[in-house]
Amino acid sequence: MQPKSTLPMAEVTILPLRARSADQGGYRQSAVPAEQPVAPVTQGTNGETYQADRALHAMLARMSGGISPAALLLAYADWLSHLAWSPQRQIEISQDALVEAKRFLEAVQHFYSPGQGPWSLIRPPAQDRRFDRPEWEHPPFNLMAQAFLLGQQWWHNATTGVRGVAKQNEAIVEFSVRQMLDVLSPSNFAATNPEVLRKSFESGGKNFVRGWHNFCTDWMSLASAGLGPVKTGDFVVGETVATSRGKVVFSNELVELIQYCPTTGKVHPEPILIVPAWIMKYYILDLSPQNSLVKYLTGEGFTVFMISWRNPDAADREVAFDDYRKLGVKAALDTIGDIVPDRQVHALGYCLGGTLLSISAATMARDGDDRLKSISLLAAQTDFTEAGELTLFINESQVAFLEDMMWERGVLDTTQMAGAFQLLRSNDLIWSRLTRDYLMGERAMPSDLMAWNADATRLPYRMHSEYLRKLFLNNDLAGGRYLVEGKPISLSDIRTPMFVVGTLRDHVAPWKSVYKIHYQVDADVTFLLTSGGHNGGIVAPPGEHGHSYRVKTEVADATYTGPDEWLKTVPLVEGSWWPAWTKWLAARSSEPSEPPGMGTKSDESDLPDAPGDYVLH
């Protein structure tokens, strides 16, 4: 995006990517051509960039957790100014407050009256589990919970439905007020939480001692973050998670490509390339043996390759989004072509990796490259106009603020990114955890998914800026304006059969947003909607209880069916979606034959075995 200033522009020097040498801990220099220059930085009248402004914004970001104060002020100004000029809406809001207060006082007086149940006034939403325990059904705790829920409902009504307020500003105000109210929930305080009080009486206050110990342990873990491989309980990368046998067969400045050992006598000739997101480590698709997608695929007779992204640091600030395509997907396909020549590839992309795979596939279609046999996307968006509450953090003010913060650090660090995702589900990921760990003195049983979630990554300044601006703000990919190597690409050029998975409770890539692929590509689309969320819905191995899905194939020339109608008409199937996908892949694969060799003769002999080196840093 070009700045509006007409003053002279400063040229940006593109720094080379750095790559970790296979035989030592240092890095080797490797020049990377810059085909899409970064938008020039706005200058002041003295020829200097606005470094003082950026430094101030970076300092504010450390105090605000990366949330732009200007974005919040603009949203509240929009809401308050329109509310000030809406006297009828003010009267309505005031009347609602008086009516609810009257109802509450009457409920207090008649709490034990016949027909007066514990949640007669208001019941917690289905997704709110703070008040699930039976202790919350007794006074005075039930009354405190209902008073809190009534206040929360009133504030929701007060911050929404004001005519003239921009939709995004209304959402920002409602979301921020909800976050502030969540702090005041009676479940967050020992004196007003019956579960904590019961635990204190039963243990003689030992729960607070254990809670203090948990707090100190967490503080020490936070202070030592980044000093070595992440360990959560018994889950260690390469020892108990990410243990599928394989070897790194290619390495460059940005990726290691892992080829996994076959576990069947014969395999389908067409290999699978998995493109994970680089927001987190790749091994969510190779967790413990019982829920590893890699292990499942090799057991079904597929040759599997996986990209493992290097975790960038401040020196990688100028790594571009397109570098991930060239040095990631393109380089991986080239290497697979050397190992398994003259074979098309089944490509799978997860989350941001799926968005990158879509861009790569559209580029290949534009350029006449037919190496993809099929395309599978897991919880991956190609249109970002309805990307859920995550879009609350994406507007011009917020993106500029994040850019200034990343400009100082060179990367978006792990705490900032994790904090944004936690805010989307603050009840489950922040307050409930704090109550359990520090007031109850308990710990959730560690799991491989928790270990993976704690193993966070950083994002380069330039890549993340391009991602936010081109995809979220401008929606260039969906609009046919996204440029690759100076020329636009269009998703409508994709003719390759697609298998697209959405998850029912996804707060990162809402399934209705993922569903839009139906009218973006000119290909047969098999859409599957699975239960669970962004991670739990994808890691759904056969034999694990609680999974279900719906699936339907739409041919390229079929008339469009909206997501709501699709949900009503497609039957529910109990069980894991993995077998349905592998059946779909097998139907588009050739007859099994002898497995290919591991790597090529030209591979460097000192490349490590799986899980490789990059995942450990």
How far is it, in rounded angstroms, from Cα 530 to Cα 274? Answer: 19
574: which residues sit within 8 A by CB, 6+ positions away? 547, 548
Per the annotation, the verdict on 216 as an active-site residue is no
Residue closest to 272 by CA, chosen among 323, 333, 327, 331: 333
Cα–Cα distances (Å) from 208 to 141, 211, 215, in that order, read: 21, 5, 10
DSSP code of residue 470:
I
> Would you give the distance in Å from CA 197 to the centre of its chain?
36
Q: At what angle do helices 396-409 and 69-84 cross, to 10 degrees?
A: 160
Q: What is the DSSP letter of 502?
A: E
- As given in the structure block, the two tokens for residue 46 are 């003295």
**CA atoms within 13 Å, Cβ hemisphere of 326:** 14
Q: Tokens at residue 300, please? A: 């079904």
Residue pair 432/193 in contact by the 8 Å Cβ criterion? no
Coil, helix or strand at residue 63: helix
| Annotated catalytic residue within 196, 230, 241, 351 | 351
Q: Which run of H or of E encompasses 430?
A: none
CA-to-CA distance for 25 and 4, rounded, in angstroms? 44
On whether the CB atoms of residues 505 and 532 are closer than 8 A, the answer is: yes
Comparing C-alpha atoms, which of 566, 32, 87, 47 is closest to residue 328?
A: 32
Q: Are 569 and 592 in contact (CB under 8 A)?
A: no
Kindly state the tokens that stand for 431.
């307050």
Rg of the chain, C-alpha, whole Å = 26
Block residue for tokens 């790594």: 319
Task: List Cα–Cα distances, 224 to 220, 234, 387, 429, in angstroms.
Answer: 6, 18, 34, 21
| CA–CA dist 253, 463 (Å, integer) | 15
Pairing of strands 304-309, 272-275: parallel
CA dihedral 266, 272, 277, 278 (to 10 degrees): 80
Residues designated as active site: 351
